[in-house]
Amino acid sequence: MCRHLAWFGAPRSVASLVLDADHGLLTQSWAPRRQAHGTVNADGWGIGLHPEGGGAAARWRSDKPIWSDTNLASMAPHLVAGRVIAAVRSATEGMPADATAAAPFLHDGWLVSHNGRVDRAAVGPSLDAESACDAALLAARVVAAGPGRVGATLHDIADADPAARLNLLLLSRDQLFATRWGDTLFVRHDDDGVLVASEPDGSTGWEEVPDRHLVTVTAAGVRVAPLTSG
């Protein structure tokens, strides 16, 4: 239902994170190895970052396959940041197909990506959502409730939709939250930061996150803990 990643660490180029890695996100857009729902992620893509030196978060989104963009390869080496999020989309049937439905979504300084599906009625309406798609509604609700309460929010939604898959990335300048709920999630600790992704690229050192767990990354380190309802 999508592949996504987030980087929290020293500045790196978008090209190194998204395009250059062996079996990285670019390759996962057409040949994912661990995607249980859907076979190709051709319904859009997005990249978001918190610029070095401060300022508002920036995004680049499209409703086209990431491999079809003729500008990304030339621009990505020049987009450098220590807080980066990226996603390729496999749209849920019946969801909008325009670029506003592509992650990352942006709310109150948080860049948010959703890998999964959820009944929109279980999430509820939101005037702040950037699209009518399930992922945009979910992003708006989680940020409105407070990213620090993501466990409680996801439990409430799952009570209303037990079949929901609720893998999320939430990235601010100071924190990264990543949830595994119903789909795969992996984390890799590098010397200069932490990479979280739906599935590993071709490098070594990846660790699988257990289902219904939360990864929290700050400047102080990394914590993996169960997603509790409290």
**Helices 150-160 & 134-145, crossing angle to 10 degrees?**
140
Say what the alpha-carbon torsion angle 132, 135, 139, 141 is, to the nearest 10 degrees: 60
Structure tokens at 176: 């990264």
133 as an active site residue: the answer is: no
Token readout for 116 is 């999964």
| Identified catalytic residue from 1, 2, 158, 196 | 2
The residues that bridge with 37 in the sheet, in sequence order, are none
Q: Count Cβ atoms below 10 Å from residue 228 Cβ, excluding itself.
A: 10
Residues assigned a catalytic role: 2
